[in-house]
A and B are shown apart, each in its own frame.
Chain A
Amino acid sequence: MSDLQINRTDAEIIALYLERDEQAIAETDLKYGSWLLVVAYNILHNYSDSEECRNDTYLSAWNHIPPDQPQVLQAYLLRLTRNHALDRWRLLHRSKRISPEAMVPLYELENVLQDHPAEAKMDSAAIAEGINDWMAAATPRQRYIFLSRYYCMRPLKDIAERTGLSVPGVKKALAKIRQELKERLTQAGVSL
């Protein structure tokens, strides 16, 4: 195995996958390993499980590239890690072995979808459509805060550090986002 290069571009790493060069996984780990670990950890709140999710991500990436040729490797890996973490969350949740801290951000969205009449749309595809519509109308900053909190389940403090806001400032921004999203989903007739 040749030496790891910390400055490899995503295109170079993807090329390694396409060439079936085992260096690809080591390079992925070097460049994105700790970031992916945090992604999984924010969902599971357990170090061992998060580490396993990260390794499962490498396995999935190895098995799917090719045929997949991701445009943005980090986004591709994020999706994989998140999916593995959610699968594990479901498993742990069923057996009641999940940390109570896990998924706290999603509980904030409880009131965005109201319990509603039979004619309301209930499927997740309708909710996703509503989210995507709202995203298109939102500012980049709103999108970043929204995805940080509800897609990556980041703690408020992390979001504050990254956005330069205070924690109350992030809370306020999230409250506004939730309100806007609720209005959009209500208009589209989406509820539970």
Chain B
Amino acid sequence: MKTEKWMEAFTQIKNEWIEEFVRTDQAAEQKARKTGRRTVSLGRWMTVAMNVAATAVVVLTGIWLFNQSQKLPELSTGGVGTEDLYPICFETEADWVDYEAALEKIAAERIARNAEWVLEDYDPERDSAAWLDVCLSAYYPWTRWDLLAIEKLRKARSGDSAMLPRYNDEAFKHSQMKWSSNDGVRRAFWLSMYSTAFQSQLGSSVRIDYTYLEPEAYLYPDLKADASMPLKEIVDTLGAAYGKKCSSVRVSLGDRTVDALTRRSGDNGENCIYYFLYDNVLVRISAACGNDALEAWMAALTFQRK
């Protein structure tokens, strides 16, 4: 209550004080930079020491994880607490097949449903580019995670034990990273992993209930807010060509090609939001590099619009 009052009050501070503040801040920052040089040497040594320590921790952890992966996983017979989710495994070949098939099926259905939904509903005379952005943003993560899970399972089945979909594996960690800005993704991924763990620990065949994943869950609040962005014009056609680096990212809009102005990237550079300018309209596009499904979808959209 008090915090909220203070926050509101501070937004009403007179402009002259804010302007004075930024002027002082510029000068203070320059001064701090100059005086800070004396401590650079110590800072550098500390950084080096920390890096060495961090590297040692990573190497030791890697060795430990490798050793762990060589052991046969022991299934818990107790409750399904967090500690029980590690390690996750499947008991039979049929479990793998079932799980993979389930993921592929849901991914295919999702692709078809979303593409159909967007193409049917999108009206350039009526809908803003922001709306299109919401559709794109809402659509991509689910497919991305499905495809990632499928890929990991394929590798796991091919004998790469390090790729077993563990509770604390890379993909899950990544989904945790997305937690702060993307509730839906984490929840979906978590549910699917949790469900998998639950099923495998009970020793039953894998069956995942995707009824959790209703379309409403896609539209998390911050994207809903984007739908009301005051964009004045509509982007006629969208097509995308993704590069691995930001500098190479560009989008073809009609007969023009524009470079991305800036982006917000995911921690591994795969989930990105790009900002483009087209006829004085700032367009925000969410994309997943290497996501064939998304690219195919966007290509279809471009084709449809032409």
Contact = CB atoms under 8 A, between A and B. Distances in A.
A125 B222 contact: no
B136 to A, nearest CB: 16
A52 B262 CA distance: 11
A95 to B, nearest CB: 7
Count chain A CB atoms within 10 A of each CB in B10, B177, B267, B277 and give the residue with the most.
B10
B222 A88 contact: yes
B17 A135 contact: yes
Contacts of A135: 13-14, 17
Nearest to B9: A127
Contacts of A97: 179-180, 183
A95 B6 CA distance: 21
B275 A58 contact: yes
Given A55-B264, A92-B180, A135-B17, A78 B22 contact: yes
A173 B275 CA distance: 42
B17 A25 contact: no
Interface string A81-94: 01100111001100
Interface residues of A, number: 57
A144 B28 contact: yes
Contact of B12 (A88, A107, A124): A124
Among B179, B180, B225, B277: residue with most chain A CB under 10 A: B180
Contacts of A120: none
Interface residues of B, number: 53
Instruction: Decide if the interface of chain A is mainly helix, strand, loop or mixed.
Output: helix
B13 A103 contact: no
B180 A124 contact: no
Interface in B26-62: 26, 28-29, 31-32, 35-36
A95 B2 contact: no
Interface string B1-23: 11101111111111101111111
Given A51-B264, A95-B183, A164-B31, A128 B25 contact: no
Contacts of B20: 140, 143-144
Interface string A127-164: 11001100100001001100110110000000001111
B259 A1 contact: yes
Given A72-B19, A97-B180, A135-B17, A86 B7 contact: yes
Nearest to A115: B2
Nearest to B274: A55
Nearest to B275: A55
Contact of A132 (B11, B14, B24): B14
Contacts of A122: 5
Contacts of A58: 261-262, 275, 282
A161 B36 contact: yes
Contacts of A110: 2
A111 B74 CA distance: 54
B284 interface: yes
A79 interface: yes
Interface string B174-186: 0001111101000
Interface of B: 1-3, 5-15, 17-26, 28-29, 31-32, 35-36, 177-181, 183, 221-222, 225, 229-230, 259, 261-262, 264, 266-267, 273, 275, 277, 280, 282, 284
Interface of A: 1, 20, 22, 25-26, 29, 46, 48-49, 51-52, 55, 58-59, 62-63, 71-72, 74-75, 78-79, 82-83, 86-88, 91-92, 95, 97, 103, 106-107, 109-110, 113, 122, 124-125, 127-128, 131-132, 135, 140, 143-144, 147-148, 150-151, 161-164, 192
8 contacts: A22-B261, A48-B264, A78-B22, A107-B3, A132-B14, A151-B13, A151-B18, A162-B25
